[in-house]
Structure 1
Amino acid sequence: MNVLEKNTEGLSSLAIITFWYGKYPWYMPYFIHTCKFNPTVDFIIITDNTAIIPDKPENVKVVYKTLEEFKERASVKLGFTVAIETPYKLCDFKPAYGFIFPEIIQKYDFWGHGDIDMAYGNIRNFMTAKILNEYDIISSRNDITTGTFLLYRNNIKMNTLFMQSRDYKQVYTDPEHYCFDECNFLFTELDRGDSILDYPNNVQSMTYLAVKGDKEGHFRAFFDYIIVQGMSNNIRWDNGIIIYDDRFECMFYDLIKYKVKCKNKTVTYPIPEVFYFNKNGINKNSFWKLLSLKIKAKISKNDNKISA
Structure 2
Amino acid sequence: MMKHNKSIALIICYYGKIPWYFKYFVHSFKYNPDVDLFIITDEPFDQEPLPGNIKIIRKTLSDFNVLATEKLGFRINVSRNYAYKLSEFKPAGGLLFSELLDGYDFWGYIDIDVIWGNIRDFITDELMGKYDLISGRPEWMPGCFSLYKNTDVMNTLFMQSKDYVKAFTDEQYLNFDETGFKHSAFIAGNTNLEINGGIESMMHVVQKATAANKIKPLFDFFMIEGLPGRLKWENGYLYYKNRYEVLLFHMMYLKDIYTPKKQINYIPDTFNISSTKIYHRAKSKLNGL
Amino acid at match of 1:97: G
1:187-226, aligned counterparts within 5 Å? 187-199=183-195, 201-226=197-222
Answer yes or no: is the 8 Å Cα contact 1:235–1:276 preserved in 2. yes
2:65 equivalent to 1:71: yes
1:112-191, aligned counterparts within 5 Å? 112-191=108-187
Q: Which residue number corresponds to residue 285 of structure 2?
A: none
Quick one: distance in 2 between partners of 1:76 and 1:200?
32
2:22 equivalent to 1:23: no
Quick one: distance in 1 between partners of 2:274 and 2:164?
40
* Structure 2 SS opposite 1:88: helix
Q: Which residue number corresponds to residue 270 of structure 1?
A: 266
* Residues 280/201 of structure 1: CA separation in 2 closer, same or farther (3 Å cut): closer
* Residues 97/19 of structure 1: CA separation in 2 closer, same or farther (3 Å cut): same
* Residues 253/265 of structure 1: CA separation in 2 closer, same or farther (3 Å cut): farther
Q: Where does the alignment leave 5 or more consecutive residues of structure 1 unmatched?
A: 2-6, 287-308
Q: Which residue number corresponds to residue 306 of structure 1?
A: none
* Residues 20/184 of structure 1: CA separation in 2 closer, same or farther (3 Å cut): same
Query: Cα deviation per residue 1:152-204 (whole Å; 9 max; x = unaligned)?
Result: 10010000000010111111121111101100001121222222331255411
Q: Which residue number corresponds to residue 28 of structure 2?
A: 34
Q: Where does the alignment leave 5 or more consecutive residues of structure 2 unmatched?
A: 283-289
Quick one: distance in 2 between partners of 1:225 and 1:67?
34
Shift of 1:118: 0.4
Amino acid at match of 1:128: T
Query: Cα deviation per residue 1:64-105 (whole Å; 9 max; x = unaligned)?
Result: 111111111101111111242221001110011110111110
2:46 equivalent to 1:52: yes
Quick one: distance in 2 between partners of 1:271 and 1:197?
47
Identity %: 37
Amino acid at match of 2:207: V
- Normalised to the residue count of structure 1, the TM-score between the two structures is 0.86
Quick one: distance in 2 between partners of 1:117 and 1:71?
24
Q: Which residue number corresponds to residue 292 of structure 1?
A: none
* Structure 2 SS opposite 1:196: coil
Give the number of aligned pairs.
Answer: 280
2:7 equivalent to 1:13: yes
Answer yes or no: is the 8 Å Cα contact 2:33–2:53 preserved in 1. yes
Structure of greater Rg: 1
Q: Which residue number corresponds to residue 236 of structure 2?
A: 240
Query: Cα deviation per residue 1:31-62 (whole Å; 9 max; x = unaligned)?
Result: 00111000000011111113534231000000
Quick one: distance in 2 between partners of 1:48 and 1:217?
41
* Structure 2 SS opposite 1:145: coil
Amino acid at match of 1:248: Y
Query: Cα deviation per residue 1:218-270 (whole Å; 9 max; x = unaligned)?
Result: 01011011100011321111111111122221110001111111253545443
- Normalised to the residue count of structure 2, the TM-score between the two structures is 0.92
* Residues 210/71 of structure 1: CA separation in 2 closer, same or farther (3 Å cut): same
* Residues 274/145 of structure 1: CA separation in 2 closer, same or farther (3 Å cut): same
* Structure 1 SS opposite 2:46: coil
* Residues 97/198 of structure 1: CA separation in 2 closer, same or farther (3 Å cut): same
**Among 278, 284, 293, the residue aligned to 2:280:** 284
Answer yes or no: is the 8 Å Cα contact 1:266–1:281 preserved in 2. no
